[in-house]
Structure 1
C-alpha cells in the first residue's frame, strides 16, 4: 500500500487518480448534456478545486463556457474553522447567467452555503453545484448539491488539490490520514 508523510502526519492511498478521473468524466458527461446552449460561467473555488476544475473544464467539449475563480478559506491545519473568509472575489456580472460552482470537497457545507447566498444576491438564472467529493457524515448545513463525484467517510484527506497546511495539493491520487 502506498504511504506518504506530510508534516507530522502519515497518509495512505485512498482514491487512485484513475478513479478520480472516472468520477470527473461522469460529472462532465452530465454537465455537457444539461448545459447545451446555456453558455455557463464555471466558478472554481480556490485553492483546492483547481485540479478538479481543470480536468472537468477540459471535458466541456459541447458547451461554450467561461471559467473564473474565487478564493475562499475555511480550514486551518486539518480542521475547519467554521468561518468562511473570501480572499479573492468574483469580478464577472452573473445576472441572468447559468453559474456552475466547482468545489473539491463538501464536508460541513458551510463554504457551499456561503457561496450560494453570495451568488443569489447577484441574480443568476441558476446556480449548479458540482463537487468531486462529499462527506455526508460531516454535513452540518443542509445544502443542495447537483453533482457529486464520490461520497467518502469523514476522514482527513490530501492530494488532487486538497492540502494539509499547504502541502500535498500536487499529488495525483488522494490519500487519507492514518490514525495511529
Structure 2
C-alpha cells in the first residue's frame, strides 16, 4: 500500500516519462573511481568531509565508505544551504544548518549530489574559505553538461556527467520526491 502524498507531482508518472541515465551499478563504480582519486589527494590528512544536505546524503554516505575502505579517515559534519526550497529554480542562498566543526586551517571536502549551475556550491565554498578553510574540494556525483556554470567553479571529483535535462534520483529530487531512487533518471524532453 502506498502512503498518500500531498505533493501534486506524481513520481510514478515522472518515472514513466523519464529515461534511465545511470543505473545503480554504474553509479557505484563511478563513486569507487572517485574514492581512488580522493585517497591520492588526502592520503596523509584527515579532511573535514561536509555533506551538503539533503541531496548529497545518499552519495556522501556511499563515497565515505569507499574512501574509508581505501584507508583514508574522514572527519564528518554537514551543512544545509539551499537556493531552491522545493522549487525548480533558485533564489538567494538560505542557510538551514552550518557545520559545527571549526574550519580554520582545515582541508574541506564538500560532497553534493549535482553540480548544475553551481551558485549554491559557489556560495558554500566561499563561506568555507571565509571561515578559514585551507582549501575546499568539491565531490559531485553528477555534473550537468551545459555552459551556464558559475565561472571558475568546477568539481574536483566527478562521478558522471548528465544531460541538460531535469534529472532526479540518487539524492536529486523530483519535487521533493525520489531522492532515494538508486539510479539517475532524466525527464524526457
Structure 1 length-normalised TM: 0.90
Q: Is the 8 A contact 1:82 1:110 kept in 2?
A: no
For 1:73, the equivalent position in structure 2 comes to: 82
* Match status 1:178 vs 2:188: yes
Partner residue in 2 for 1:159: 169
Question: Is residue 55 from structure 1 mapped to residue 65 from structure 2 by the alignment?
Answer: no
* Structure 1 position 6 matched with structure 2 position 11: yes
Deviation at 1:152, TM superposition (A): 1.6
Bigger helix fraction: 2
Kept in 2, the 8 Å contact 1:159–1:169? The answer is yes
Within the alignment, does 1:118 sit opposite 2:123 as a pair?
no
**Which of residues 98, 101, 105 is equivalent to 2:114?**
105
Aligned position for 2:40: 33
What's the secondary structure of 2:84's corresponding residue?
strand
Deviations 1:101-122 (A, max 9, x none): 1111011110111011100111
From the superposition, tell whether residues 121 and 154 of structure 1 become closer, same or farther in structure 2 (CA, over 3 Å): same
The whole-number CA distance in structure 1 between the counterparts of 2:58 and 2:147 is 23
Q: Contact (CA 8 Å) 2:24, 2:183: kept in 1 or not?
A: yes
Structure 2 alignment gaps of length 5 or more: 1-9
Does the 8 Å contact 1:37/1:64 carry over to 2? no
Q: Tell me the number of residue pairs that the alignment of Structure 1 and Structure 2 aligns.
A: 175
Alignment match, 1:86: 95
Which piece of structure 1 moves more, 161-170 or 46-55?
161-170
TM-score by length of 2: 0.86
More strand by share: 1
Q: In the TM superposition, what is the alpha-carbon distance from 1:160 to its structure 2 partner?
A: 0.8
Alignment partners' CA distance in 2, 1:107 and 1:30:
22
1:68-89: CA deviations, max 9, x gaps? 1111222255622243211111
